[in-house]
Amino acid sequence: MVEKELITGPAYTKGLGGRVWSPGIKVGPWLFLSGVTAVDYKTMKTVGATGATSMTPPKIDPEAQWRQVLNNIKDIMESAGGSMADIVMANVFVTDMQYYAHYQHIRSEYFTPPYPVCTAVAVRDLVHPDWILEIEAIAYIGDKK
């Protein structure tokens, strides 16, 4: 049987609505991250989505959502004893490709060459209507922890 270690970020204490998945699982030298969204785990609220009512959708701040997603990933990586430089694959799911352009200038703030491989996929919806993107990642962190 493979030994799996649960990895979470420092603010991740409540989970997300009781769903049965883990933010990260370390197996040997590999770290696998579930799809990470723009939830601030301290407040359990989505960052970058405001003003929604029963009649109107929220106002979306794509840059704020990208930064929150990448900060959440960074927190999980550091909790595992790694860094953003250890990520080898980061797949992006985005609800509208217009939001994808916001990732390019922010990406260089979080990743350095050689950049992780990435597939970007436009999807119709994500689990929560306030989320415009989700990133899943795989990292090679060895025995750093």
Question: Is there a contact between 71 and 39 (Cβ–Cβ < 8 Å)?
Answer: no
CA triple 98-91-35, angle to 5 deg: 100
Q: What is the CATH number of domain 4-140?
A: 3.30.1330.40
pTM: 0.91
pLDDT tens for 70-92 read 999 999 999 999 999 999 999 99
d(CA 4, CA 118): 25
Residues in contact with 20: Cβ distance below 8 Å, sequence separation at least 6, in sequence order: none
Which residues of the chain fall below pLDDT 70?
13-20, 102, 143-145
d(CA 122, CA 145): 35
Maximum Cα–Cα distance for the chain, whole Å? 51
